[in-house]
Amino acid sequence: NTPGRGEDYPVWHPDPAVDLLAYSALDAGFEKVFVQSASDRSAPVQAVALGARPAWSPDGSSLIFSADS
């Protein structure tokens, strides 16, 4: 949980061997989707796109999310 970021909608990668967590959060006034390692706190957090409510595909090869147009 990052102070001041309002993280929500966390989803674990469907393969337990893949240590990734996706979530959405407010960042600089925009809702964005982020992916980060769940166990390596030194790994950089990656902003994927503007959007919210991420979900992994069943095989974990894709990440989908809602976005405003």
Distance, CA of 16 to CA of 45 (rounded, Å): 19
For range 16-39, the mean pLDDT:
92
The residue that leads in pLDDT, 55 or 6, is 55
DSSP-derived secondary structure letter, 53: E
Q: Mind listing the pLDDT tens digit for each residue in 3-17? A: 667 789 999 999 999
Distance, CA of 41 to CA of 18 (rounded, Å): 15
Tokens of 59: 């095989």
Percent of the chain surpassing pLDDT 90: 71
The residue that leads in pLDDT, 38 or 65, is 65
